Amino acid sequence: MAELQNSAIFAPRVIEEIQAKAESGLYAIRGFGTLRERRWPTFDDLTFLPCSLTRIPLEGYREKCSTKTVLGTRFAQKPIQLDIPVMITGMSWGALSYNAKVALARGAAAAGSSNTTGDGGMLKAERDNSRTLIYEVLPSRYGINIHHMRMADAIELTIGQGAKPGTGGLLLGTKVSDRIAEQRDLPIGVDQRSAARHPDFLGPDDMIIKVEELREATDWQIPIFIKLGASRVYDDVKLAAKAGADVIVVDGMEGGTGASPAIFQEHTGLPTLAAVCEARSALQDIGLYGDVQLIIAGGIRDGVDAAKAMALGADACYIGTASLIALNCNKPMYEDDYRAIGAAPYACHHCHTGRCPVGITTQDPELMKRLEVEDGAERVRNFLQVMTLEIQMLARSCGKSDVHHLEPEDMAALSLEASAICGVPLVGTRKVFGH
Amino acid sequence: MVEIDAAGRTTREVNRAIRQRIAESCKEVVLRNPGARHNLAVAILEDAHIRIAGSAGYYCGGLIDGPSIEVEGSAGWGLAESMLSGTVRVHGSAGSGAAAAVRGGTVVIHGDAAARLGVSMKGGIVIVAGNCGYMAGFMAQKGTLIVCGNAGEAFADSMYATVCYVGGEIANLGTDAVIAPIDAGEAQQLEKILSTHLPATLRSTKPAAADFKKVVAGRKLWNFDKREWRTWQEAL
C-alpha cells in the first residue's frame, strides 16, 4: 500500500481553517500577535562582537554604563527623562483589566520607566501610579479628555499599530462591560470596532496642523510622539518627522494586540528588525537622526532584542506582550480555565474572549482578582530591571559606557538577509551584502 | 471686553494672549484679524466668550471645556473637535469633520457643513442650519445631530446611539442607518433645541420640527452576525 501523504499546500491546519470558516461563516479573530514561525530575519540573526584586542571592554559589574534615556528634545520644553530605555507600550483599559493597567503603571514607575494609556483614555489610578505617563490620541478618540492630556508627560498620536497596520482597534462585546462602555461612550456589549482613520485629519499635511494643535493644547511643554504601524516605514518616518514629531515610534509586525482578525497579525506589516533599519535610514537621510528620537516596538522579548534594536538606531524600546507575560500571561496555572476557552498554557492567544485565565485581558471581576496588583507590579519591575541589566552587560562587553552608544558596528549578521537589511558584515566575511 | 489683534503674531502668541486675558478675569475676548489661521482658541477650559472677528482655519475651538466661541466668518476642518462642554457657533460654513469626536457641548453652524460632520461624536448637540456633505454622523456614538437642510450621501453610516434629524432631503442613508418615527414629545424637544440655539430669523426659514426625518442606527453592525453578512460586506 502506498504511503499516505498530507498536502503541503492544504495541510491539516489549512483544511481545518477552511472547514471552520465554512461552518461558522466567520473569519478568525484572536489576540496576542503573530504565531508564525519566523522565516524572515529577526534580531536572532545578529550577534554581538564584544571587545577583545581591537576594543577595550568595561568591567561588567563595576564600571558605569548609563541607561538614562531622554526623549523629546526636538521641540518640547520638558523632554521625558527615564532611568532605563525600556518602556511599556500603549494597551487599553478594556483590552486589559483594571488591575493589569495599574500593575503595569506601578511596575514601570518603580523601574524608572514609563507606561502609556491606550484606546479608551486615562484611568485615574493609572495616572496616580505612574511616574511618566504617555497619553495616546488614537483614531477612535474614545475617552479623549483635555484635562487628562494636560496631566500627561507626553502625547502619542497613534497612526497605526504593528499587529494590524491600516485598521482600527477591536474590542468584542464580551469585554465592553458597563464601565468600559461608559468610558468609551458606547452601548454596553457592542462589538467595538475602532476607526482606522483619525476623524479630523487624513494625510500628512493635515497632520502637521494636528500636531500644532496638540502642542498649543499643552503649551509646547510635553513631547509629541507619532506612532506608526510598520509598513512603508522609510517614507512614513520622514513624513512623521516633517509633521513635527519629537519622537517617532515604529511598531513592527511582531507586535501584539488584544484582538484583531488573524490575517492582519500574520500577513501585514514589516518585521521589527527591518522596521528599525528603515526608520534609522529615513532619519539619517533627512538629517534628523539624533534630533528626533526613535522608539522601536514589536516582539521585543528581552534585553538582547532591545540592545540589538538600540545598536541599529533605536533610542528606546517599547514592550507590550513581554510585559503581560511578566504578569503571568500563558503561565501554567488555572489550567482548567485555559481548556474551557480552547487554549492551554504557552498556547493561549484568547485575549479577545475576555476570559483570560490569569486576570490580565478580562473585565470579569472574579478573573481580574487573579492578578494581584502589588505582586504584578513587582514582577513588571523585576523584568524591566533584568532587561536593563542585560542591555548593560552587552554594552559593557562592547566597551560602551552608555547603552545608547551601541552601534551597528558592534554586531555581525548570521544570515545574508540580515546583512543586507542591517548593513552589517556577514559572519566569516568582511562584506556587507546588498550594499 | 478686550481686543486682541492677531496680525503680526504667531498662533502661539495669539492663544497665549487669549489665555492670559481670561486668566485676568476677562469674560469677553474679541480676536481681530484672525486671517483664517489654524488652531485658534484651542483647549480653552474657562467660562468666557471668545469672538473671532473673521474666519478661522483648522481645529478652531478644539479640545475646549467650557467657553463660548463665536466665529463671525467660516471655519476650517475639525471645528470644536473633542470638545467636552461649551458652545461653538459659526456664522458662515464649516469644513470637514466639524464637531468630530465631541463629547459634550453645542456646535451651531449657520451655513453649511462639509463632509463627515459629527464623525465619531460621543455626546453633545450639533446643529447645521444649512446642508451637510457626505458621511455626516459616521460612527457617531451618542448625542444629537441636526441638519436643517439637505444631507449628503452615506448619512449616519455605522452609528451607535446618536440620534439624527434632517429637515431636508437625504441623498442616501449610510450602512445600518434607518428612518425612525418622531413622536410629539420628540418634536417638541427638537423644536426647543432649534429655537434655543438658532436665531429667530434663521429658525423661521427652516422646516417645522415635526417635519424632520429622524435617523438612528439599525443596530445590525453592533454585533457581528453572519446572517447579516451582506451588510457587513458593504460596511467593511
For chain B, domain boundaries:
93-235
Which chain A residue has the Cα nearest residue B135?
Answer: A199
Please indicate, yes or no, if residue A172 is contained in any of the structural domains.
yes
B17: three-class secondary structure by DSSP: helix
DSSP letter for B189, please. Answer: H
Please indicate, yes or no, if residue A38 is contained in any of the structural domains.
no
| 3-state secondary structure labels for all residues of chain A | CCCCCCCCCCCHHHHHHHHHHHHHCCCCEECCCCCCCCCCCCHHHEEECCCCCCCCCCCCCCCCCECCEEECCCCCCCCEEECCCEEECECCECCECHHHHHHHHHHHHHCCCEEECCCCCCCHHHHHHCCEEEEEECCCCCCCCHHHHHHCCEEEEECCCCCCCCCCCEECHHHCCHHHHHHHCCCCCCCEECCCCCCCCCCHHHHHHHHHHHHHHCCCCCCEEEEEECCCHHHHHHHHHHCCCCEEEEECCCCCCCCEEHHHHHHCCCCHHHHHHHHHHHHHHCCCECCEEEEEECCCCCHHHHHHHHHCCCCEEEECHHHHHHCCCCCCCCHHHHHHCCCCCCCCCCHHHCCCCCCCCCCCHHHHCCCCHHHHHHHHHHHHHHHHHHHHHHHHHCCCCEHHHCCHHHEEECCHHHHHHHCCCECCCCCCCCC
Question: Do the Cβ atoms of A217 and B42 come within 8 Å?
Answer: yes
Please indicate, yes or no, if residue A154 is contained in any of the structural domains.
yes
Please indicate, yes or no, if residue A393 is contained in any of the structural domains.
yes
State the average pLDDT over residues A302-327.
Answer: 98
- Using the Cβ of B231 and the Cβ atoms of chain A, whether some distance falls under 8 Å is answered with no
Second CATH level (architecture) for the domain B93-235: 3 Solenoid (2.160)
Contacts of B85 in chain A (CB under 8 A): none
| 3-state secondary structure labels for all residues of B52-70 | ECCCECCCCCCCCEEEEEE
Backbone angles phi, psi at B37, to 5 degrees: -80, 160
Helices A272-285, A233-242: axis angle to 10 degrees equals 50
- At B232 the pLDDT is 63
List of residues 6+ apart from B206 with CB closer than 8 A: B129, B148, B149, B167, B194, B198
* 8 Å CB contact between A229 and A256: no
Chain B interface test: which of A200, A207, A219, A224 (most B C-beta within 10 Å): A200
Contacts of B104 in chain A (CB under 8 A): none
DSSP letter for B50, please. Answer: E
Which chain A residue has the Cα nearest residue B97?
Answer: A200
- The per-residue pLDDT for range B39-71, each reduced to its tens digit, is 999 999 999 999 999 999 999 999 999 999 999
- At A60 the pLDDT is 83
Please indicate, yes or no, if residue A28 is contained in any of the structural domains.
no
Please indicate, yes or no, if residue A380 is contained in any of the structural domains.
yes
CATH of residue A158:
3.20.20.70
Please indicate, yes or no, if residue A422 is contained in any of the structural domains.
no
Distance from CA of B69 to the nearest CA of A (A): 16
- At B233 the pLDDT is 65
The single residue listed with the C-alpha cell 540580515 is A418
- Structural domain tally of chain A? 1
Q: Does the pLDDT of residue A87 top 90, yes or no?
A: yes
pLDDT band at B234 (very low <50, low <70, confident <90, very high): low
- At B236 the pLDDT is 43
- At A424 the pLDDT is 97
State the average pLDDT over residues A400-427.
Answer: 98
Which chain A residue has the Cα nearest residue B43?
Answer: A217
pLDDT band at A94 (very low <50, low <70, confident <90, very high): very high
**CB atoms inside a 10 Å sphere around CB A28:** 15
Q: Does the pLDDT of residue A224 top 60, yes or no?
A: yes
- Give the Cα separation of B55 and B52 in Å (integer): 7
State the average pLDDT over residues B224-229.
Answer: 71
* 8 Å CB contact between A175 and A94: yes
- At B235 the pLDDT is 59
- The per-residue pLDDT for range A376-396, each reduced to its tens digit, is 999 999 999 999 999 999 999
C-alpha separations of B235 from A27, A195, B132, B197, B228 in Å: 16, 12, 21, 34, 11
Percentage above 70 pLDDT, chain A: 100
Of B65, B100, B224, the CB nearest to A199: B100
Residues 108-167 of B with CB under 8 A from A: 116, 119-120, 122-123, 139, 141-142, 160-161
Q: In 3D, which of A113, A160, A112 has the Cα closest to residue A136?
A: A160
Percentage above 90 pLDDT, chain A: 93
Please indicate, yes or no, if residue A12 is contained in any of the structural domains.
no
pLDDT band at B224 (very low <50, low <70, confident <90, very high): confident
- At B229 the pLDDT is 67
- The per-residue pLDDT for range B75-107, each reduced to its tens digit, is 999 999 999 999 999 999 999 999 999 999 999
**What are residue A319's DSSP bridge partners?**
A88
Q: Annotate B103-118 with b (16+ C-beta within 10 A) or e (fewer).
A: bbbbbbbbbbbbbbbb
Q: Does the pLDDT of residue A373 top 50, yes or no?
A: yes
- At A236 the pLDDT is 98
Of B81, B142, B224, the CB nearest to A200: B81
